[in-house]
Chains A and B, each alone.
Chain A
């Protein structure tokens, strides 16, 4: 699953299995590109991975809670616990490997 969520929706889903949070901004080219990469990643994992896109500018409390200093930032959560974090635009294999290690 890949969907854009607000803080409330995020908290409902964040502790359910393997979740990849994408803190993005609509004003950021790398974030736009990462969006296309994540669509490919979603195809790779299907129901094994939930990808939640969080608008950095619209969810300040959440970004503070997760100490997200910039965008794009990817945080991989397993049952709500942070497993790994990547900052900046990433290529598909990097993300796929990160998720596979956490499965």
Chain B
């Protein structure tokens, strides 16, 4: 077998090749509304989209209707253009189905097309329960992004998937101001789930930009009014994660400003939730910019706190959370509950938001639900909820003004992930996406890490997405997987216009930290097959995958040739006991599996790859030209 080596084109390059190919094909023919050119899944990653192209006789507006499986499922939109050269994106197809698509031109011409789609794999999950009405939900779609094996997908009022994406997209998906989507990339920079950055992607699947961040991306991003993007990150080389935020220039991808939470908060073990460790002491899982106060609000799961910082200076303004156990000099930042109403602090929360009236909303996971270990709550007695707090920063008081989910108890309990959305006062989304059960027992840790147990059915993961209007449940979808967030969107957005040309790779991946000490080892020939070694080369990184017993000393060596210096990288084989496996979709079935990416942008040269395993150094037969 030897070492499996392959060169992998970036998805932007693959899409550009595909685009050139279908445009060339189109140029060869003569297409009219009667005989249009149709390409299904034109950008390779969104199988329920298509592109229809033809030349109209006169400039016309188009109206597109993808016929539903019943009348309420019709998906109609009017691409905003007046032209003869028709480039019409088709959204909202069903999988494994002969779809009927009706194109009507303002000139009166009409064409009914049949578009057959392929069956999706089992990663396209089907809801186990869907309760809503087409009158309420209309032609909205509920987008969900997975943390266990499943696709990022969008479901209509009936629970039918009308869009999905085959990339292993991570974390948050949201609409950009230009109508496109922001979503975490599928390319790891550090295990278990820190990826290179975020994609700016059209609904048709075309990736226009990848914003790469030196420390990698996790959890959340936020678009400022001027288009620049706040992205949650970390400084990998200092050994901690999820405690750093950067603002990225929308045009160049360069970092314009940073906020380091280590500058305003005491680190481990201060304020630790039940899931805190020194490595992931804060676990920043959300960022929100509030224009009225020119401030940033961050959620830190592993200190059970929501913090607010001045946008310009980074100064800490306030903290929402249970103050028990925090040092005296930090107490001034905490609020004091007042009033007669019910009040619970939030624990290991997600998705903090500042509402238009200044209230603070979040998903209170409630995991452990205490600052004192002896008082931690078992899952069976616990609850998760959406909650709104009203804060007064003058007298530092706080009241709880709304909640949903506590009354549902353990069946709605998610130890991790989840979000809320605000539509208007009294109208909210509450998404409990991290529910797990083993038999009759509710899990008290993130189930996404249990790769084998999920596949065998020993562990069942689920997700419940609810919309509440004036305290009445108007929508409830159950899915048989864990989903990080839910976001209600329309498939079509006037701003999301397809433009041709190659997407851009912006920003930088950090140079992977080299290890200065070389482990002494004897040459031992080719690496044994037992280690199942795979090496993949991309434009900006090399990914080393192999399988080693826990505790094996492994170094990846790039042996420089022709004057290029040699570089050594320490490859961890001892799995860190991640207490917050927020995204398990990058995990392998083999518990011995190791994945180690090396950023190659700053290390040009020619290298032979060798691998040190304890006291032996093996050849791989792979030579790299970077």
Contacts and interface: CB of A to CB of B under 8 A. Distances in A.
B551 A29 contact: yes
B572 A91 contact: no
Contacts, number: 44
A33 B570 contact: yes
A97 interface: no
Contact of B519 (A26, A27, A33): A33
Nearest to B614: A32
Interface in A14-71: 25-30, 32-33, 36-37, 40
Contacts of B570: 30, 33, 89
B517 A28 contact: no
A33 B553 contact: yes
B546 to A, nearest CB: 13
Contact of B553 (A32, A40, A87, A93): A32
Given A87-B278, A88-B239, A91-B515, A29 B573 contact: yes
Contacts of A40: 517
Nearest to B594: A29
Interface in B126-170: none
Contacts of A27: 550-551, 574
A30 B574 CA distance: 8
Interface string B498-526: 00000000000000000111111000000
A83 B551 CA distance: 29
B331 interface: no
A97 B351 CA distance: 40
Contacts of B516: 91-93
B515 to A, nearest CB: 7
Contacts of A36: 517-520
Looking at chain B's contact residues, is the secondary structure mostly helix, strand, loop, or mixed?
A: loop
B597 to A, nearest CB: 18
Interface in B279-332: 279
Contact of B552 (A25, A29, A87): A29
A27 B573 CA distance: 10
A80 B315 CA distance: 39
Contacts of B550: 27
A6 B555 CA distance: 30
Given A87-B278, A93-B516, A29 B574 contact: yes
A87 B518 CA distance: 20
B515 A33 contact: yes
B418 interface: no
A4 to B, nearest CB: 17
Contacts of A92: 516-517
A55 B10 CA distance: 46
Nearest to A90: B239
B369 to A, nearest CB: 23
Interface residues of B, number: 21
A95 B572 CA distance: 20
A30 B517 contact: no
A29 B279 CA distance: 18
B574 A37 contact: no
Contacts of A32: 519, 551, 553, 614
A29 B517 contact: no
A30 to B, nearest CB: 6
B481 interface: no
B236 to A, nearest CB: 13
A80 B213 CA distance: 44
Contacts of A37: 517
B587 interface: no
B517 A33 contact: yes
Contacts of A93: 516
B554 interface: yes
Interface string A64-103: 0000000000000000000000011101110000000000
Nearest to A38: B517
Contacts of A26: 551
A30 B517 CA distance: 12
Contacts of A87: 278
A25 B574 CA distance: 11
- Residue from B520, B555, B570 having most chain A Cβ neighbours under 10 A: B570
Contacts of A28: 551, 574
A27 B553 CA distance: 10
B172 to A, nearest CB: 29
Interface string B350-394: 000000000000000000000000000000000000000000000
A29 B520 contact: no
Given A91-B517, A93-B516, A29 B239 contact: no
A29 B278 contact: no
A67 to B, nearest CB: 11
A36 B279 CA distance: 23
A91 B520 CA distance: 16
Contacts of B518: 36
B501 to A, nearest CB: 44
B515 A29 contact: no
Nearest to B577: A70
A37 to B, nearest CB: 5
A89 B237 CA distance: 12
A25 B520 CA distance: 19
Nearest to B279: A88
Nearest to B552: A29
Nearest to B269: A69
Most buried by A among B278, B517, B555: B517
Interface centre among A26, A33, A88 (most CB of B within 10 A): A33
A88 B240 CA distance: 11
A87 B280 CA distance: 13
A-B residue pairs, 9 tightest by C-beta = A27-B551, A32-B553, A29-B573, A29-B553, A37-B517, A28-B551, A36-B517, A29-B551, A36-B519
Given A27-B551, A29-B573, A92-B517, 10 more contacts: A27-B550, A29-B553, A30-B572, A32-B614, A33-B570, A36-B518, A37-B517, A40-B517, A89-B570, A93-B516
15 contacts: A26-B551, A27-B551, A28-B551, A29-B551, A29-B573, A30-B572, A30-B574, A32-B553, A33-B515, A33-B519, A36-B517, A36-B519, A36-B520, A37-B517, A92-B516
Interface of A: 25-30, 32-33, 36-37, 40, 87-89, 91-93
